[in-house]
Amino acid sequence: MKVKDVVQVMDVIAPPRLAEEGDRIGLQVGDPDADVKRLLVTLSPSAATLAQAKAERVEMIVSHHPLIFRPLAAVTQATATERLVAGLIRNGISFFAAHTNYDSAPGGVNDVLAAELGLTACRPLMYANTRLRKVVVFVPKEHVEKVFDAICEAGAGRLGDYSHCTFRSEGTGTFRPLEGANPFIGKQGVIERVPEVRLESIVPEERVGDVIAAIRRSHPYEVPAFDTLPLETARREPGLGRVGELAKPMPLHAFAGMVGRKLGVPGIRYAGNDAKRVKSVALCGGAGSEFYREAWRAGCDAFVTGDVKYHIFIECEELGLAIIDAGHGHTELPGVRALHGKLAELLRGVKVLMSEAEDNLVKRA
């Protein structure tokens, strides 16, 4: 299996279109054509993660948190990020990140966290609209399958739980190569008529550049003909967070204790009336405390997330919304462990390992 094959599997598990704007996801270090026999799944890139990867002789790391958040001006090993990038390259280890796209994805961080806390009847706390474009390309009949495979691999033709969704119609293309042209078909100065296929598909706006690049790579013509057309419709996608129901209401202090036990969080922090009955729960794995108003508007009794700042505890107290800080990593680790299980099942012939670094990263006295 190649790095690009793992990327393709990850793009199904955590579709890139679900990532928040500006998030740094995807293959950040490595060669798409490199072989992968051993793979390490981790929550975050760190020196400990790299050390385990080297010791286990893995060829690829799949991480929840990205390694490169901002463009690097140099790789001089002056910073932790630069040292990790250099170490990965030096040891031939590819690095891939699925961040907010895996948070929002069905079966991702927030769905796994909701299941871990025993929530039912779950729905997204927020939704995202993906803007779509139609890409149309005209291809000689004998080359249509090559172009079809290339554009679909680049992100075209994905609708819900389906991939490779396109439409084809046949017609005749005409052109006359002028002086200086190097035509794939025909001769300079002669009008050519070629049986062609109009191949069209829907593409998320952020993947249009990748699809056009795939057309240019796979199309036989010196100058391929294609159109990109904006669509009025947008696709409503699951976004960050989830809302669900407990099987039975419980007092806030009991619910907070249950969250701590389920996620292995000692000394959990929370705010609210201890006697308050909790039935409806919102959650957002990681640093999601900025979405407390969305949880309040959804009519929830409590909101579970991580990295809660002091002033947000006060805001929630005044709103009557109980808020529980279960830790950034603790709320995400169940989803990362679930990702390890999925990849172990899907990547035939690849040994998939789970990072040991997270358990020792943040300590409590």
Token pair 């690097």 in the structure block, residue: 72
- Give domain 3-99+332-360's CATH number out of 3.40.1390.30, 3.30.450.40, 3.10.450.40, 3.40.50.620: 3.40.1390.30
- pLDDT band at 363, cuts 50/70/90? low
Instruction: List the domain boundaries for the chain.
Output: 3-99+332-360, 109-126+240-326, 129-238
Half-sphere exposure of 195 (CA within 13 A, CB side): 5
| Average pLDDT score over residue span 12-21 | 90
Q: For the chain, give the percent of residues with pLDDT over 90.
A: 81
| Average pLDDT score over residue span 270-278 | 95
* Residue-level pLDDT at 314: 97
* Residue-level pLDDT at 66: 97
* Residue-level pLDDT at 359: 57
DSSP 3-state percent helix, strand, coil across the chain (nearest 5): 35, 30, 35
DSSP for 296-350, written as a single string: HHTT-SEEEES---HHHHHHHHHHT-EEEE--HHHHHHHHHHHHHHHHHHHSTT-
- Do 109-126+240-326 and 129-238 share a fold? no
Lookup: tokens for 34: 């490199």
What are residue 62's DSSP bridge partners?
A: 41, 96
Neighbouring residues of 156: CB distance < 8 A, sequence distance ≥ 6: 135, 166, 201, 202, 203, 207, 211, 214
HEC letters along 197-241: EEEEEEEEHHHHHHHHHHHHHHCCCCCCEEEEEEEEEEEEEECCC
* Residue-level pLDDT at 356: 87
Instruction: Flag whether pLDDT at 365 surpasses 60.
Output: no
Instruction: Flag whether pLDDT at 194 surpasses 70.
Output: yes
Q: How far apart are CA 18 and CA 185, in angstroms?
A: 41
Using one digit for the tens of pLDDT, what is the confidence trace for 116-171? 999 999 999 998 877 889 999 999 999 999 999 999 999 899 876 788 999 999 99
Q: Which CATH architecture has domain 129-238?
A: 2-Layer Sandwich (3.30)
Q: For the chain, give the percent of residues with pLDDT over 70.
A: 97
- Give domain 109-126+240-326's CATH number out of 3.40.1390.30, 3.40.720.10, 3.30.530.20, 3.40.50.410: 3.40.1390.30
Q: How far apart are CA 319 and CA 103, in angstroms?
A: 26
| Average pLDDT score over residue span 73-92 | 95
Q: How far apart are CA 40 and CA 35, in angstroms?
A: 14
The two beta strands, 302-305 and 322-325, are parallel
Vertex 148 angle, CA 203 and 11, to 5°: 50
**Mean pLDDT, the chain, as a whole number?**
93
- CA dihedral (115, 117, 123, 124) in degrees, to 10, reads -100
